[in-house]
Amino acid sequence: MELGEFARNLGYQDVEIGGSAHGPVTASPEEENSAAGKPDPDSAKEFMQLKPYAGMPKEVLLLYSSQARYRVPREILFWLMVACTVMLVGLTATVIALSPRCLSWWQTSAVYQVYPRSFRDSNGDGVGDLKGILEKLDHFHYLNIKSVWIGPLYRSPMRDFGYDVEDFRAIDPLFGTMEDFEVLLAEMHNKGLNLIMDFIPNHTSDRHPWFNLSRTRDPHYKDYYVWTDCNETTPRPNNWVSVFGNSSWTYDEVRGQCYLHQFLKEQPDLNLRSPRVRNEMIDIIRFWLGKGVDGFRIGAVKRILEAAHLRDEPQVDPNKSPWDLHQDYTTSQPGLHDLLRDWRAEMDIYSREPGRYRLMVTESYDYHEVDKSMMYYSTPLVKESDFPFNFYLVDLPQNSSGWWVKHLVNLWMANMPRGQWANWVVGNHDKPRIASSAGQTYICVINMMLLTLPGTPTTYYGEEIGMENIEVTESQDPAGKYNASASRDPQRSPMQWSGDMNAGFNNKSKVTWLPVHPDYARVNVEVQKTDEGSVLAQYRFLSILRQSELPLYRGWFCYVHVDGSVFAYLRELDGLDRAFLMVLNFGKDLVFTDLSSIRELPDQLKVLLSTNRANDGKVWQKSQIPTEAGEGLVIQYATHTRFNPSHPGECFISDKACYLKALDLLYTC
C-alpha cells in the first residue's frame, strides 16, 4: 500500500508490483509483449525517466545507489573526509608536539605582597584584616595582578607580628575568622586571583601546645624542639647567635634544659629531624591546600635544620666581636633540601587538578653565596621550589651606576640553572622601602626594570605608588627593641588609599597601629589614578604591557650597553617582527647613550613609554639617546634581524620558543 500510495511513476508500479491490490488485472498487449520477451519501447522509456525522490522506499534507493554517478562521488567524499580527518589529527599532534610549555599563573603577572596588618582596616581597630583585603580586591585587577602573597594570618601572640605561631590551623582573631578567610579565598578565585600563604616551619610560639607539652617531657612531644643540657647559671651550650644578635639559647625551668631559638626567645625552633614533626608539617600543608590556597612562601628556609653536634661556630675575626660568626652549623645543613622536596611532592599531589598548580617559593638571604640560593631550584630529576626569592636588587641603593645594576642582575642570571625561571624583589616587610633608600627620583625607573626583566617581579604593597618609610619614635618591632636602627616599622606603615582620614586605611576611627606617612594627601591611589604621569599609572601600563607582549614575558633577554649611568637591554622573540629596548639611567646626570655599534637596532628609535611623560612618542637616533637622571625608556621597534644569535654570551632565555606569524602561534625551536 505504501508503494502504491507514494510512487508517482505508474510504469514503475507495473513493473515492480505487476498487479493491483484489488484483484487480478488483465494483461494489456504491452504486458503480453513483455512477458513474451518483446521489449516495449514506451515502457522502457518511462522506466528510464524514473528519478530519486523525497520519501522514496528502500527498494528505490537501492536501485540507484549502486549506479556509478552516485557511487563514485560518494566514495570520493568518503575518502576526502578520511584524508581531512587524518590531516587534522596530524596537524593537531604536530602543534602539540612543537608547542612550548604553557606558562603557569605565577609566571604571567607580578606577585603582590600584602602585609595584612597594614593593607586595609575594615572594623576600625587600627589593624588591617581579611575583610579589608576583600574590600580592595579590585585594586589587584586595576594593576593587572594575578598573584597575591599575604603575610602570616595564623593565631599568634604577635610578639613577632604573626611569625610566632600559636596554632597553624587557625586564623588570628585580629584578622578575622576562618569563615572570613574562606570567603576571601573564594572571592579571589572568582576574580581570577591566586592566594599565596606564608608557611613558617622553622619555629612556633612558646605558647604553642606542642612547646608546652615538650617542656613537660610528654612522650609524644618531648623531641618536637631542639633541647640540650645546660644549667641556669650558664645557659649557653655554645656560641650560636640569634638573628637579633643575642644568644640562641634560653634556659627553661620546667624542663631543666636549654632550647634553641634562632629568632626571639618566644620563638623556639622546631626539631625538623624528628619524623613526628615532619609529619606535622605535611599535615599543615595538606590542611591549607585542602582549603584551596594556591601556594606557599616558605620563610627562613636555610635555618630549618641545624648541626646535631652543636659545636661552636667559628668567628669571622677572632680579634673583633664574638657575636660575628660564620653560620656554618646553623644554616643550610645537609638534609634541608630533602625536606623541601618532600613538601614539594605533597604539593604536587594537589597540583594534579587541572588549572590548579600549587606554587612553592623559598625565602633565603644567602647574600654573596648565590650558589646556595640556586640550590633551591628544581632539577630535571627532582622538584623543589619553583623559584627562590631573589633579594639582590634590594642592594640597588648602595651604588648609583649602570655597572652596579648590571652586576646585581647578572649575579642571578649568570648563576641561575639553565631553563629555570627568574624572580626579582626590590622591597619587602624586612627591608626599607626602595623609594626611601634609593630616592623618589629612581622609583619609576626601578619599577620599569622590575616589570621588564625576565621572570616574575615581586611588588611590596605601596611600591606601585612610591610610598616611603615613616619615622618611628617608639618601635613596635622586636628587632627595633634590640637595635633601634634595625627596626622594620618604617616600611610597614598603613597603605595610602586616598586623601581621607588615615589615608583611607581606616575610615571608622583615628586609630592606626603605626602612623600614616604625612605625605598621604599627595601620594595615594586615588590621586594617582587621575594622573597619567604618576608612579601608579606607569606601573599599571608596564604590568599590562608585560602580559600582552610575548617578548617581555617569555622572550630573550640580552645586554646591549652599560656604563657609569645607563643600563640597557633588549627583549626579543625569534620570528616576531617587533622587539623592545630598555634604556635606564641610574646615574645622577643627563647622558646621551650611543648604540650605533648595535647593528641589529634600526637607526631611528621611537619611545613607547618614558618615566618622563614629555618624552613619550619621541624619536631618537640610536647614536644619541638622551636620558635624564632616573629616567627610563621603553622603546618598541620593528626588526627582522635578531640580536641573540650573534651574542650568545650576552643573552638568556628560560624556555626557548619561536613565533610563526602565518598561523599566529608559538612553537619549540
Is pLDDT of 20 > 50?
Answer: no
Is pLDDT of 8 > 70?
Answer: no
User: Tens digit of pLDDT for each residue in 143-199?
Assistant: 999 999 999 999 999 999 999 999 999 999 999 999 999 999 999 999 999 999 999
Question: CA of 610: how far to CAs of 585, 607, 630, in Å?
Answer: 11, 7, 10
Question: CA of 27: how far to CAs of 13, 20, 37, in Å?
Answer: 14, 11, 14
Is pLDDT of 28 > 70?
Answer: no
Residue type, 386: D
Contact 153, 181 (CB under 8 A): yes
Query: What is the fold, at CATH topology level, of the domain defined by 549-667?
Result: Immunoglobulin-like (2.60.40)
DSSP character at residue 183: H
> CA-to-CA distance for 388 and 365, rounded, in angstroms?
10
Is pLDDT of 46 > 60?
Answer: no
> CA-to-CA distance for 311 and 308, rounded, in angstroms?
8
Phi/psi of residue 451, nearest 5 degrees: -90, 0
**Residue 234: per-residue pLDDT:** 80
Task: Give the number of other Cβ atoms within 10 Å of residue 366's Cβ.
Answer: 18
Is pLDDT of 22 > 60?
Answer: no
Is pLDDT of 33 > 60?
Answer: no
Residue 97's pLDDT band (boundaries 50, 70, 90)? Answer: confident
User: Tens digit of pLDDT for each residue in 507-522?
Assistant: 999 999 999 999 999 9
**Residue 35: per-residue pLDDT:** 46
Contact 553, 585 (CB under 8 A): no
> CA-to-CA distance for 564 and 518, rounded, in angstroms?
35
Residue type, 235: P
User: Tens digit of pLDDT for each residue in 353-383?
Assistant: 888 999 999 999 898 899 999 999 998 889 9
The pTM of the full predicted model, rounded to 2 decimals, is 0.87
Question: Can you tell me whether residue 167 is helix, strand or coil?
Answer: strand
Whether domain 109-201+277-306+315-467+524-545 has CATH 3.20.20.80: the reply is yes
CA 389 to chain centre: 12
**Residue 523: per-residue pLDDT:** 97
**Residue 159: per-residue pLDDT:** 95
Is pLDDT of 442 > 70?
Answer: yes
Is pLDDT of 5 > 80?
Answer: no
Percent of the chain with pLDDT over 90: 79
C-alpha cell, 662: 602565518
Residue 40's pLDDT band (boundaries 50, 70, 90)? Answer: low
* Bridge partners (DSSP) listed for residue 408: none
C-alpha cell, 296: 606557599
Residue 437's pLDDT band (boundaries 50, 70, 90)? Answer: very high
Residue 481's pLDDT band (boundaries 50, 70, 90)? Answer: confident
Domain locations in the chain as residue ranges: 109-201+277-306+315-467+524-545, 549-667
What is the arithmetic mean of pLDDT over 207-214?
Answer: 98
**Residue 622: per-residue pLDDT:** 96
Whole-number average pLDDT of the chain: 91
CA 91 to chain centre: 31
**Residue 474: per-residue pLDDT:** 86
